[in-house]
Amino acid sequence: MNLKKRRRVGESIIHGFLILSSVISIFITVGIIFELGTESMLFFTRKQWERTNKEVVQNVELASTSFFVSESGATLRAGDLIRLRDEEMRVVEIQGGLLVVERGAEGTEPIFHSEGTAIEKATQVTLLEFFGKTEWNPQIGRFGIWALVNSTLMTSLIALVVALPIGLCVAIFLSEYASQRFRSILKPILEVLAGVPTVVYGYFALTFMTPLLQAILGKNVVGIYNTASAGIVIGILIIPLVSSMSEDALSAVPNALREAAYGLGATKFETALQVVVPAAFSGIAAAFIVATSRAIGETMIVAIAAGAGPNFTFNPFEAAETMTGHIVRISGGDLSYNSLDYNSIFAIGLLLFFMTLILNIISQKIVKKFREVYQ
Amino acid sequence: MSVTPDEALSVSPADAHEISAEAAKLSRRHFVGKVWQVIFASSTLVGIVALTTLLLNIVNSAFGYVAVENTVQPEHLAINGVPIERMPKEDLVAVLESHVSAGLMRRFENEIPWEERTREDVYNLVLERVVDPKPVAQWSLYESLFTVDAIRQEMVERYPEADLIFKSWVTPSFITSPQSSNAFNAGVRTAILGSLWTISIAIIFSFPIGVGAAIYLQEYAKDNLINRIITLNINNLAGVPSIIYGILGLALFVRLLGQVTSGAIFGYTDPMTANGRTILSAGLTLGLLILPLIIINAQEAIKAVPNSLRQASYGIGATRWQTIWHHVLPSALPGILTGTILAISRAIGETAPLVVVGASTFITFDPDGPFSKFTTLPVQIYQWTARPQDVFRNLAAGGIIVLLLMLLSMNAIAVLLRNRYSRRI
Amino acid sequence: MASLNPESSNGRYAIEAKDLNLYYGDFRAVKDTNMKFERNKITAIIGPSGCGKSTVLRAFNRMNELIPIYHATGEVIFNGTNIYNDDVDPVEVRRHIGMVFQKPNPFPKSIYENVAWGVRKVTNYKGKLDDIVEQSLRQAALWDEVKDILDQSGLALSGGQQQRLCIARTLAVKPNVVLMDEPASALDPIATLRIEELIQELKKDYTIIIVTHNMQQAARASDYTAFFNMDEDRAGFLVEYDRTTKMFTNPEKRLTEDYISGRFG
């Protein structure tokens, strides 16, 4: 008899594969953050050339490092990067109309420029502009994220107004009132509702919900594309999510609590609303947060029904493109990798990623706490 | 013991007042309870109503009357009084020749020479290219059923040249025809094949890895920091919006690994697909998307296997892998498969990541491998829905019905698999 | 049948525990245990619930290690080797020291496969599988009941039959020692009796250590009895260990007498 350890090569190989499999999930996360991060960096560092409406008012020789420019147009500052045709220059000093420059900046070749050559100025998207402005128009170099974030928040808010009360009521009904038989019918229906692809919901929003809103409020009030109809349909989409998570929380409340309330002479409704729901509060809160995250990340419904074109508006019946909708529209065309548009979807994506990630982490923390209390 | 009226009267007026006030309050409490019960119950109705409306809305668009106008009336094509229905092949070729460009004729000739074409084939070409029926107006199923007179009226007034036919947009030929710019000939064949290709690649990629990770986390992993991070991370990945996976796929598979996903390093040099926007990229992106779902579902299934089974196996000297492979996995298999099919259903319906990865807007040829350009059924539905012409909405409705039927059959397979495997023991 | 135990000439004791301490995390479940188990004898381990008797039993084939926070100090000598040495493979230990569990746990496979699987996977048995399946089922006194239904699921048997199937499964890989963790506690009295008779048969060929909470069972069925109790820190310790006849008639310790006469536990 030999009790010595045997080398089991097959088992070691399998063990290695299994470890690798589970580590891949880390790679995916790192990949997401790395890709979104580096491309977003490019978004914030990529030069764009903006016309200054200034021109040189003399010939600029190959060797000369100072020349006069027209007074009109945008102001230049020392340190600015400017471009005359293919040559880039760094502004060293400005004395009235005289520009002192460093020639051939950024590795470009100094060349001769004749009088009247237009001057372009390099600009970058700054974080201040990105988070501070409300206009998003890549054609003219406007990158204020609030135009997109605002409509994302609007559709999400409308969705939550629809889904939270209804979802919670469904959960209360299923957990406190419904018979076993009714539950066994209703739960599959909700599951089917949750399993319908979102593109189908998008179709539903455009061909049913929008005409419905138009019929109720008038065609001159409600546009063909609008955030209200997209939001309402997202709400319908996340009702099953809210109700199933909330119902789990309500069912986890021990029966002893209900019996205690009944023992004091409370009615069924009072027990449900004043004892069971507060006891399950954190579980329900987690459901609401996950639903919020889901609504923010929802794409196809808004891509189809909310409109194509950033629009900073608080009117839910106007078209306004959301963050997700914008990503889909921009990347759906023939996108050049070497463009600010391409970089911009990563910056939007990164913001979206962190918004949903933070919400998901919070909800997981809450659920964990909740479990510790009752299990 | 019954209370006599005298005894009841002996209650002091103050007490009596209090009792009646309490009774009134109780009935009010019951009333409030009833009202809320109705509210709770009707909320659940919202779900049922929403689902019904969703389906009715789709059916409403997928069937109905269509006004069809022929570009050339078939009567005008008759030669010597013989209508095209009864023409021989040679005459049909002549008809075709006199109505389409010489270039197009050469293309037909190059595809299949005229001698080898059947009469049926040429006849269809004449219908498609010369007669060329086009929908000019369409009505929903509801309108078609209940306002026939109004439709006929409108036909006479606005489309005197057109024929009125009742059309089902979901037909066998809808499923077997490729994409086309003419709504009458368009079908979802290319899209269905694209969906099947991408899903297959997603499964091949993520099933072994997902189940492997689940086995590691349930059966091998100790409770240490790294493994806790992995678990937390998987849960978070499951909550990342799908479009983020699309962006990752675009950067990783399309751009960074473009040489691989376009097949260039395997000597596959189709300039049409060399940019990496291929079935392979799409499939891998979907694979990443469903990986966390597969891991979580498989973990649950493995967790549900009773510990006594593992102990029995270890107790007679089996190794860890023998225990897992021969006892744990067979018991967990129905659960793993059900969870995987749920994940696949999710992937089949995904649209946004595939649009971002670069689904083609218009392809008419069947995908012929992982390096082919692609479109999928939900992407096709999206593109039809997004087109301004109403007629494409009908096509989209038809596509949705096909998609929902695909999902339904997936879930039926899941139920069958589960039943079969759980009976086997 | 002595050939089943090739090592039987090697000393009088099959297993010896030296200064064994067993921990779950920081909690010491069993302390300072020293005991020897004689070959081809039945040793019963008794004690109040929670005193660590199952933990001790599972320490003898390193079964406890499936619980991540478990660790042990001290030695368990089996076949001249400390099974807790670094170079010892727990898989090999379990292959030679078999175990029968509290609740019958047949594999969800056929009766035949339940017995044959271990033979095929963990031993180098070269003979006919059919023979060893029959031999093991006969040893477990189950053959006559199942010989016609070998391809039926093991889960279709009654509880007592399932437990005997589990014993047959353990015997089929030809261990030296069989550990039994309350093997009859989930069974009815008649099935219990059959298991006890079976254990008596098996001691001809195997060393058997059995944990039981049933004192009558220990008195009826065992040659030696070890009594465990727990101290004020809830750590189990060996109170007394002697021939069963002596333990139940004239125990050395007051504590043992109190427990056996039912004054606590």
Distance CA A256, CA A269 (A): 16
Q: Residue C5: its pLDDT value, please?
A: 41
A5 reaches C (C-beta below 8 A): yes
Q: What is the DSSP letter of C238?
A: E
Distance CA B109, CA B112 (A): 5
Of the pLDDT bands very low, low, confident and very high (cuts 50, 70, 90), residue A5 is confident
The alpha-carbon gap from B316 to the nearest alpha carbon of chain C, in Å, equals: 5
Is C108's CB within 8 Å of B425's CB? yes
Which tokens in the block code for residue A308? Answer: 């194509």
Helix axis angle, B189-215 relative to B377-386, nearest 10°?
130
- Of B355, B230, C181, give the one whose Cα is nearest residue A302: B355
pLDDT tens per residue across span A128-143? 888 888 888 887 778 8
The alpha-carbon gap from B161 to the nearest alpha carbon of chain A, in Å, equals: 29
pLDDT tens per residue across span B214-245? 999 999 988 888 888 998 899 889 999 999 99
Q: Are B358 and A177 in contact (CB under 8 A)?
A: no
More confident residue, A204 or A3: A204
Q: Which of A34-48, C63-77, C95-109, C113-127 has the lowest mean pLDDT?
A: A34-48
Of A35, A174, A337, the CB nearest to B252: A35
Share of chain B above pLDDT 90, in %: 37
Is A32's CB within 8 Å of B221's CB? no
Distance CA C239, CA C253 (A): 8
The alpha-carbon gap from C119 to the nearest alpha carbon of chain B, in Å, equals: 9
- Of B350, B341, B363, B362, give the one whose Cα is nearest residue B408: B341
Give yes or no for residue B38 having a pLDDT over 90: yes
C24 reaches B (C-beta below 8 A): no
> Can you list the domains of chain B with their CATH numbers?
64-167 (no CATH), 189-424 (1.10.3720.10)
- Of B330, B349, B333, give the one whose Cα is nearest residue B400: B349
CATH number for region A49-123 = 2.40.30
pLDDT tens per residue across span B291-345? 999 999 999 999 999 999 999 999 999 999 999 999 999 999 988 998 899 899 9
B317 reaches C (C-beta below 8 A): yes
Distance CA C200, CA C178 (A): 13
Q: Residue A55: its pLDDT value, please?
A: 85
Of the pLDDT bands very low, low, confident and very high (cuts 50, 70, 90), residue B274 is low
A309 reaches B (C-beta below 8 A): no
- Of C182, C217, C218, C226, give the one whose Cα is nearest residue C36: C226
Q: Which of A284-293, A310-319, B252-261 has the lowest mean pLDDT?
A: B252-261
Helix (H, G, I), strand (E, B) or coil at C234: coil
Is A3's CB within 8 Å of C7's CB? no
Chain A nearest-CA residue for B47: A190
Give yes or no for residue B423 having a pLDDT over 90: no
A3 reaches C (C-beta below 8 A): yes
Distance CA B76, CA C33 (A): 108
pLDDT tens per residue across span A246-271? 999 999 898 889 999 998 888 899 99
Give yes or no for residue B164 having a pLDDT over 90: no
A217 reaches B (C-beta below 8 A): no
List the beta bridge partners of residue C88.
Answer: A4
Contacts (Cβ under 8 Å, ≥6 apart) of C183? C100, C101, C102, C163, C167, C195, C210
Is A5's CB within 8 Å of C87's CB? yes
Of the pLDDT bands very low, low, confident and very high (cuts 50, 70, 90), residue B390 is confident
Of the pLDDT bands very low, low, confident and very high (cuts 50, 70, 90), residue B271 is low
Partners of C95 on chain A (C-beta within 8 Å) are none
Give yes or no for residue C10 having a pLDDT over 60: no
* Gyration radius of chain C's alpha carbons: 18
Give φ, ψ of B4 to 5 degrees: -80, 155
pTM of this structure: 0.85
Is B242's CB within 8 Å of A297's CB? yes
Q: What is the DSSP letter of A56?
A: B
Is B233's CB within 8 Å of A190's CB? no
Check residue C21 and give left, alpha or beta (phi > 0: left; psi -120 to 50: alpha).
Answer: beta
Helix axis angle, B279-303 relative to B225-238, nearest 10°?
120
| DSSP string for A311-332 | -----TTS----HHHHHHHHHH
Partners of B50 on chain A (C-beta within 8 Å) are 193, 236, 239
Pairing state between β C236-243 and C224-230: antiparallel
Does the domain at A143-370 match CATH 3.40.430.10? Answer given as no
Region B174-186 average pLDDT: 81
B310 reaches C (C-beta below 8 A): yes
Question: Residue written as tokens 């339904």?
Answer: B408
CB contacts under 8 A, A 251-270 vs B, are 267-270
Domain spans, chain A:
1-46, 49-123, 143-370
Partners of B36 on chain A (C-beta within 8 Å) are 269, 273
Distance CA B209, CA B225 (A): 21
Partners of B330 on chain C (C-beta within 8 Å) are 108
Q: Residue C2: its pLDDT value, please?
A: 35
Q: How many of the other CB atoms lie within 10 Å of CB of B194?
A: 28
C155 reaches B (C-beta below 8 A): yes
Is C88's CB within 8 Å of A5's CB? yes
Partners of A240 on chain B (C-beta within 8 Å) are 47
C47 reaches B (C-beta below 8 A): no
Distance CA A335, CA C19 (A): 73
Q: Are B97 and B79 in contact (CB under 8 A)?
A: no
- Of A310, A288, A373, A359, give the one whose Cα is nearest residue A149: A310
Q: Residue A205: its pLDDT value, please?
A: 95
pLDDT tens per residue across span B187-220? 899 999 999 999 999 999 999 999 999 999 999 9
Share of chain B above pLDDT 70, in %: 95
Region C78-101 average pLDDT: 91
